[in-house]
Amino acid sequence: MVRQAYAAFFDDLRIPWLTADASSGAMGGTLSHEYHVPSKKGEDRVFTCDGSCGYSANEELAVRGDDGLGNTISLPYTSMSELLSFPSCQDSGLRRDFYMTSDKQKLIVVITPFRSGQESSSINLHQLKRIPQLDKLDAGVENALDSFRNQLLMLQSNGNMGQNLNVTFILDKMIRYDSSESEFVSINGMQISATVEKSTLDLVRIDNGDKCPTEHCEYGRLQVQDCIELGHTFFLGTRYSSTLDATVSLPNAGLRQPSSQVEASEVPLQMGCHGIGISRIVASAADVFKDEKGLNWPRKMAPFEVVIIAERSWKEQAREVYDALQQSESSIDCVIDDRDASPGSKMKDAELIGYPVIVRIGQSWLDTPKKCLVRCRRPTTFDEDVPVASLKSTVLQLLETL
């Protein structure tokens, strides 16, 4: 019911939204969904299948199908020191990325298959942080290998031989490494303890065109979109209510066939946590619907549905148009721009502000029958002189598309 309410709300705003499976994180619970609007200015990445399976997940949960990277790669190296120094390039077929933990005691070396065209940020950090021993990973450290070496030099200058430092090699699930001749690597002439961890996770960042992970989706490919998150729903279940002993009395709880002879049972409340970012919705709509002339607010978000523009000396004509749009049950939310400015300036301001429909009283008012210029810039441009008798029906038809 909550998801249906969210869908009805965003549909009513007429913004292009999508939903994605999301992690419950520290909030806990069993279900979590995010609601996004695609935007190049968005900081979230959402992956959807271009097929009909309906797969959609944010970057934190998204996975690719099994054929995303090809065959398993065997590392042709016999020591950990070689793992630290092999060429990270397309020729080797391997990529090596460095990270540090927040306590600066551990250097993390991630080895993954090399993908052509991949950028520097090619590691799926969400997957990497799922590895238990990497819960303190600090992905914000630039040049982690140099930082680790500097940390080692500082310890050496203080008489500390770096015995608490460690190098951990994390191998992508597609990487095989059968040798472990040494448990140390040499850095700055010192022997540092080292270990190799074989991950069962796909650590390469997902990209456009990777296979959909849905079991029966044979031809679907993942498409990535930059998005702005508009809302989030968490189904918490009984995680908190059980702990707080928050219960409700239900007769015949848990019985398929209610019986008057069974006493009422106390069951934990089912809880949820739901939020919508109002300011984000406003910013997203402004970004999605803007054009070279200005804003284009959806009908439900506009300050007024229609602005009426006329010469200052035509106040009575503007009032007549206003009354025509207000008559009968289906009234329209209108405003008259009665500023002491030229109609041309008012038109530019109206387009900049983003009124859904602009009605301008001009020379066509002197025609027989009287007409007004009606302008609406989306979803397709409407810019026509409309007889006053059919003005309201025309405006309502335009507003229905917004």
Q: Which of 300, 293, 307 is nearest to 355 (CA)?
A: 307
Q: Which of 196, 224, 178 is nearest to 84 (CA)?
A: 196
- Tell me the whole-structure pTM to 2 decimals: 0.74
Burial of 193 per CB tally in 10 Å (0-12, 13-18, 19+)? middle
Would you list the domain boundaries of the chain?
2-63+207-276, 67-198, 306-400
210, 222 in Cβ contact below 8 A?
yes
Say what the pLDDT of residue 117 is.
62
- Quote the CA–CA distance of 312 and 337 in Å, as a whole number: 9
User: Per CATH, which fold does 2-63+207-276 belong to?
Assistant: BirA Bifunctional Protein; domain 2 (3.30.930)
Per-residue model confidence as pLDDT tens digits over 206-246: 888 999 999 889 889 999 999 999 999 999 988 899 999 99
- Exposure of 176 in the CB half-sphere (CA atoms within 13 A): 6
Per-residue model confidence as pLDDT tens digits over 30-80: 789 999 999 988 889 999 999 889 999 998 889 888 764 556 788 877 777
**At CA 200, angle to CA 196 and CA 204, rounded to 5?**
90
346, 375 in Cβ contact below 8 A?
no
Q: Which two tokens stand for residue 288?
A: 């999605």
- Quote the CA–CA distance of 251 and 401 in Å, as a whole number: 48
Q: Can you list the residues of the chain whose pLDDT is less than 50? A: 68
Say what the pLDDT of residue 68 is.
47
User: Which residue has tokens 């009124």?
Assistant: 355
| Among the four given CATH numbers 3.40.30.10, 3.65.10.10, 3.40.50.720, 3.40.50.800, the one describing domain 306-400 | 3.40.50.800
Say what the pLDDT of residue 251 is.
74
